[in-house]
Structure 1
Amino acid sequence: MFRTPRTGPAVVGHDETGISRALSWTELEEQVAGLAATLEGLGVRAGDRVAGYLPDCPEAIVAFLAAASLGAIWAGCGTDLAGDAARARLAQLDPTCLIAAAGHHHRGRWVDRTPDVLALREGLPNLCATVLVGEGHARAGASVEWVRAVSSPAGRRRSSPVPVPAEHPLWVLFTSGTTGPPKGIVHSHAGVVIEHLKTLSLHLDVGPGDQFFWYTTLNWMLWNLRVGGLLRGATVHCFDGAPTARALWEVAERGRITHLGVSPGYLSASRDAGLHPAAGFDLAALRMVGCTGSVLTAPLHRWAAAELGPQVLIGSTTGGTDVVSGFAGSAATVPIRAGEIAVRCLGVDLHAWSADRESLTDEVGELVLTAPMPSMPVGFWGDLDGSRYRAAYFEQFPGVWRHGDWVTVTRRGSVIVHGRSDATLNRHGIRMGSADICQAAEDLPEVGEALVVGIEEPDGGYWMPIFVTLTGGRRLDDDLAAAIRAAVRDRVSPRHVPDEVIQAPGIPHTPTGKKLEVPVKNILRGLTAAVQKDAVDRPELLEFYREAGARRHRMRDRENEGTSP
């Protein structure tokens, strides 16, 4: 840990009950040293894997730092994942030690995870030990209780971390696993530290004494980035609970937060709930609101700016688990325009490319990186010859990273994200990103959220439905459907007016808030293995889309029967 000027606590943990727990810098260092000594005594060595199954709490940060100080490789899963889903990720690493929690808070209730801890342990046959946070130690088969683990007398004798090479693996992050087994992405010590210091210092302006809170779980790379706030001498805040419309503003008030990170979905939920954040909460300390996870639309940006006032910078960013950082984001010295990401991040050679490798300006193209970033992966876990890694990023443009997003780089240098390129709409031979169409629909006050997909049909046809959720208990009628089509026609393209407007009970997302465009497309096509349920925030919605696809197939069959000779 760099010796930056440090004031106030190092880590503060909040939960839904309103309780906050703080660790001073001295307490953090003592607990990290104590746990590292305990893990070392249990046989953990450099290169071994330490797995975490924990809520977003201070103990998770202590556990990661202790593992890293030994040169062990950290991998975390949030307790919002069921035991089977955590096992699908962590079992790939064959960890030596598991650090797990007895449960977590969710929407006002305590969720007991001890049965999941037991199931997870059974799927990790080479575990030497389990350290359990919270109650239920005997039932979960803990080798060591947390309080004893962090209080090891040997911790007082530990002088310095174990030195490792710059490229030594620091952690493994997992993809969402929506359409197959989650991939383990390996990042290095030096690459992560360099990249995170750059992002936190020069883009987010996080410094000593700041109060840094970005809502996340251990399943999302933002947890890893947020821990980096300690490098800057900031106090890092955690939250064990569900992000209800009021919850994160309450944490911001309680923690005197200076830097708050949320998703566009959270801002939308706050707006739809009729909240007025600056009027309803004491946010006097707030200087910046970061926003990522999906596209921050211009109307939603303007709403947040009007509610929070000119003293709060609202910065949208895009990046990924792949680089555990951002490709494009905000900076205090660069103008921010609603609906755009202000600037390419420092050291990121981002371009929008055409299919023939031409760099485009003010036109939609594939997001590519033509030079490496420090935090590009060491590789994928278990991919011994690197073939899966090369296929994931370098297959379309050999030697150049293709990320899989449609973007526009404007002549001002700002970036507009249009959606995943593997979810491209190809209507009448004209390609279009899904985000533009969804934004046109979502700007209508009656529409809460939208998802549009394009389905190539066996007879050469192309079906492009748009699914919408509606606000205020509204039901879809012909007038509203016509208004949605007109918004797309007038604001996006007459060629991309949806064939059908369908009211949905909800839009499924990954646990990090991204719309499941490609899996929904595959479900509508009738592919049985289109999506892994544990990678969906609301798996019960999948049956609705499966039935919508089945109805379309039945209709097409009847039409084909009617036209048969």
Structure 2
Amino acid sequence: MTKELSSGHLLWTPDAKAAQTGQLADFADMLRTRTGFDWGGDFQALWRWSVENDLTFWDIVWDWHGVIGDKGTRIIENEGAMPGARFFPDAQMNYAENMLANADDRLAISAYREDGTHVRLTRAELKGKVMHLAGWMCAVGIGRGDRVAAYVPNTPEAIIAMLATAAIGGIFSSCSPDFGIGGAADRFGQIEPKLLIACDGYSYAGKPFDRMDILRTLADALPSVTHTLIIPFLNAAPDLVGLPQPEIFDAALMAAEPVTEFTPVSFNDPLYILYSSGTTGAPKCIVHGVGGVMMKHITEMRLHGGMGSEDKLFFFTTCGWMMWNWMVSGLMLEMPLICYEGNPFHPGPERLWDIAEAEKLTHLGVSAKYIDAIRNAGYRPADSNDLSALRCLMSTGSPLSSEGFDFVYEAIRDDVQLCSMSGGTDIMGCFVLGTTVQPVHAGEIQSRALGLAVDILDDDGKPVTGEQGELCCTKPFPSMPVKFWNDADDGKYKAAYFEHFPG
């Protein structure tokens, strides 16, 4: 499709019936029944309503999705306090239970490595492995509130480990094995993990990287670790000498009695610890709560993304980027996750697009830098791959240029929805992202996130339109960090988010 190349020009228009069918329309029906509000197919009207009536919005999101758990009676305590507001303070739930509902023979994970290894797990198989690993964790003394540190590649074992940790009420924290000893120890050392899960190595661009020496050094730097669980990646039988009470991942699963129930936790209990970049000092340990993560991802995947159980989600990420945590939440939609571990250009730039074709992907997520990289490499997926199933291409990590927008429609698919997103580790999601019912213009992001009072503020803290300023969210929302780890008086937390503008 030929288009005039200029910033802001129209690239994609949704189907005329998009607002009348699918996830948004279904949610709007419940909204109209419960409140009388009719969005009339206008997403921005829905956004305004969701911000003006945020407590009702989040309450209905819980019911509409069918969150498994006890919602309790209160929607919020300390209403309006930033920080200090707590959504659903009486709620009890379990993240893993919500991810693993209806564990049948449908596909849960399809995972690829750059060497061609391909593993598929059904929902029943995934739940079985999760419950066995959770049983092993309990047997070695890991329980509610304990931290599990994972130094792992993007393989099914990483997802299994995360869900097993959540199943027993533990707190999961991960980084990619391409982190050196300094980066990993600076992060994990602050949270005092009881269990270290790690791979023996990884490969990138066809080159193996053994990590056993680094792993021993890392374990020595973490005196809180009582057990080590090793995922063989390079060698089937890695040398475990020098590790605290080591066990091989599959052997632990086979030997353990599975847990039969999920541990109920509070909505605001910690689920994840993620990290700031550490460019201005030691990385900040950002704690995200069980319920906040779920509620944010429900709105982003279902209401903004239009995703459902018939779709397939693939986000190219490592376990050191919050998009991995985001992707895992796709399991609550009973939607298959497609994973890839390795160099996206190995053996060539077609690698991810071959997977997209083979899996008949509906939703593919990459970084803006990746789109620029394939554009600069001269690779045009539309010329060699059948991407007819692809409805949405997500781009994040940095701003996508207007030229990048144009490239997507010229060289990838001319009728795909390009969803540019921006948010991050701090909120485990997006401040601004796409919608299925609004057009896409080059160089622009479609909408502010539902339920988030996002504004651009000038130097005086006043909202501005059409001008540069500071992106701010001026009302509480569920996926605000619960706290920073080791920040007893919330001093670091307040300094990071609440001191730039008074009030």
1:86 CA displacement: 0.8
More off after superposition, 279-288 vs 10-19? 279-288
Residue 285 of structure 2 is matched in structure 1 by 184
Q: CA deviation at 1:5?
A: 9.1
Q: Which amino acid aligns with 2:295?
A: I
Amino acid across the alignment from 1:52: A
Equivalent residue number for residue 60 of structure 2? none
In 1, are the aligned partners of 2:231 and 2:248 still within 8 Å (CA)? yes
Shift in alpha-carbon separation, 1:201–1:5, aligned structure 2, 3 A: farther
**From 203, 212, 229, the counterpart of 2:330:** 229
Distance 1:132 1:186 in 2: 25
How far apart are the structure 2 equivalents of 1:318 and 1:360? 19
- Residues 136 and 256 in structure 2, CA contact (< 8 A), matched pair in contact too: no
1:284 paired residue number? 388
Note the C-alpha offset of 1:82: 1.6
Which whole-Å CA distance do the structure 1 matches of 2:104 and 2:257 have between them? 26
Letter in 1 for 2:248: E
Instruction: Please give the secondary structure, in 2, of the residue aligned with 1:364.
Output: coil
Task: Considering Cα pairs closer than 8 Å and 6+ residues apart, tell me whether 1 or 2 has the greater RCO.
Answer: 2
1:154 to 257, 276, 282: 257
**For the residues of structure 1 that align with 2:106 and 2:361, how far apart are their CA atoms?**
13
Deviation at 1:264, TM superposition (A): 1.4
Q: Residue by residue, what CA displacement relative to the aligned partner does 1:126-182 show, whole Å, maximum 9, x if unpaired?
A: 211001000314246362111112224410xx2211111111100100111123111
TM-score (norm 1): 0.68
Distance change in 2, residues 1:250/1:137 (3 Å): farther
Structure 1 position 78, deviation (Å)? 0.7
Within 5 Å, give how 1:36-75 maps onto structure 2: 36-75=134-173
User: How far apart, CA to CA, are the structure 1 residues paired with 2:300 and 2:374?
Assistant: 27
Aligned to 1:382: 486
1:355 aligns with 459
Name the structure 2 match of 1:220.
321
1:419-458 Cα shifts (integer Å, max 9, x gaps)? xxxxxxxxxxxxxxxxxxxxxxxxxxxxxxxxxxxxxxxx
**Counterpart Cα distance in 2 of 1:65 and 1:292:** 25
Cα deviation, 1:167-205, whole Å, max 9, x if unaligned, reads 110010011112311111001011111111111111122
Cα deviation digits, residues 247-268 of structure 1 (max 9, x gap): 3223322332211111111111
Partners of 1:255 and 1:218 lie apart in 2 by 22
Which SS does the other structure have where 1:68 is aligned? helix
Task: Give the one of 189, 193, 196 matched to 2:294.
Answer: 193
Pick the structure with greater CA Rg: 1
Q: How does 1:46-195 map to 2 (within 5 A)?
A: 46-134=144-232, 135=235, 136-139=238-241, 141=243, 143-155=246-258, 158-195=259-296
Distance in 1 separating the partners of 2:308 and 2:267: 25
In structure 1, what is the Cα distance between the partners aligned to 2:272 and 2:336? 22
Identity between Structure 1 and Structure 2 (%)? 37
Counterpart secondary structure, 2:300: helix
Q: Which moved more, 1:318-327 or 1:117-126?
A: 117-126
Q: Secondary structure at the match of 1:262?
A: strand
> One-letter code of the match for 1:234?
M
Cα distance in 1 between the residues matched to 2:105 and 2:299: 21
The 3 A distance-change label for structure 1 pair 277 and 243 is same
Inter-partner Cα distance in structure 1 for 2:324 and 2:374 = 22
Cα pair 1:114 1:139 within 8 Å, conserved:
no
Query: Distance in 2 between the 1:78 and 1:163 partners?
Result: 29
**Structure 1: distance between partners of 2:367 and 2:105:** 29
Distance, in Å, in 2 between the alignment partners of 1:386 and 1:152 is 42
Aligned residue for 1:34?
132
Q: Which runs of structure 2 are paired with 1:514-553 in the superposition (5 Å)?
A: none
Provide closer, same or farther for how the CA distance between residues 184 and 139 of structure 1 changes in structure 2, counting only shifts above 3 A: same
Where do 5+ consecutive residues of structure 1 fail to align? 400-565
Distance 1:88 1:246 in 2: 36
The residue type equivalent to 2:240 in the other structure is A
Q: Verify the 8 A CA contact 2:133 2:256 in the aligned structure 1.
A: no
Count of aligned positions: 397
The separation in 2 between residues aligned to 1:203 and 1:96, in whole angstroms, is: 38
Q: What SS does the corresponding residue of 2:426 show, helix, strand or coil? A: coil
**Match of 2:500, SS?**
coil
Counterpart amino acid of residue 342 in structure 2: G
User: Shift of residue 309 of structure 1?
Assistant: 2.7
Tell me if 1:396 matches 2:490. Answer: no
The CA deviation at 1:7 is 6.7
Amino acid at match of 2:336: T
Q: Deviations over 1:449-480 (max 9, x none)?
A: xxxxxxxxxxxxxxxxxxxxxxxxxxxxxxxx
Q: Is the 8 A contact 2:105 2:124 kept in 1?
A: no
> How far does residue 32 in structure 1 lie from its aligned partner after superposition?
0.3
Normalising by the residue count of structure 2, what TM-score does the alignment of the two structures yield? Answer: 0.77
Letter in 1 for 2:309: P
Q: Is the 2:311–2:335 Cα contact (8 Å) retained in structure 1?
A: yes
Q: Deviations over 1:373-429 (max 9, x none)?
A: 210001111011001110111101134xxxxxxxxxxxxxxxxxxxxxxxxxxxxxx
The aligned residue for residue 305 of structure 1 is 409
Is the alpha carbon distance of 1:241 and 1:183 closer, same or farther for their aligned partners in structure 2, counting shifts above 3 Å? Answer: same
Cα deviation per residue 1:465-509 (whole Å; 9 max; x = unaligned)? xxxxxxxxxxxxxxxxxxxxxxxxxxxxxxxxxxxxxxxxxxxxx
Letter of the 2:151 counterpart:
Y
Q: Deviations over 1:217-236 (max 9, x none)?
A: 11111010000000111111
C-alpha separation in 1, matches of 2:103 and 2:199? 32
In structure 2, C-alpha distance between the alignment counterparts of 1:123 and 1:5, rounded to whole Å? 39
- Structure 2 Cα separation of the partners of residues 284 and 188 of structure 1: 38
What letter corresponds to residue 359 of structure 1 in structure 2?
Answer: P
**CA offset digits 1:342-381 (Å, max 9, x no partner):** 0001111111111222211112111111111210001111
Taking only aligned residues, the RMSD between alpha carbons, in angstroms, comes to 1.5
How far off its partner does 1:110 sit?
1.8
Shift of 1:85: 1.4
Q: Is the 8 Å Cα contact of residues 349 and 369 (structure 1) preserved in structure 2?
A: yes
Find the partner of 1:334 among 424, 434, 438.
438
1: CA distance between counterparts of 2:457 and 2:353? 39
Question: Which amino acid counterpart does residue 224 of structure 1 have in structure 2?
Answer: N
Q: Is the 8 A contact 2:105 2:122 kept in 1?
A: no
> Per-residue deviation at 1:308?
2.5
**Residues 4 and 343 from structure 1, CA distance in 2 versus in 1: closer, same or farther, beyond 3 angstroms?**
farther
Is the 1:101–1:113 Cα contact (8 Å) retained in structure 2?
A: yes
| 2:475 aligned partner | 371
- Compute the displacement of 1:11 (Å): 1.1
Conserved 8 A contact 1:185-1:381: yes
User: Secondary structure of 2:112's partner?
Assistant: strand
What are structure 2's unaligned runs of at least 5 residues? 1-96
Cα distance change, pair 336–140 in 1 and its aligned pair in 2 (3 A): farther
- Checking the alignment, whether the CA contact within 8 Å between 2:171 and 2:270 is kept in structure 1 is yes
Does the 8 Å CA contact 2:408/2:414 hold for their aligned counterparts? no
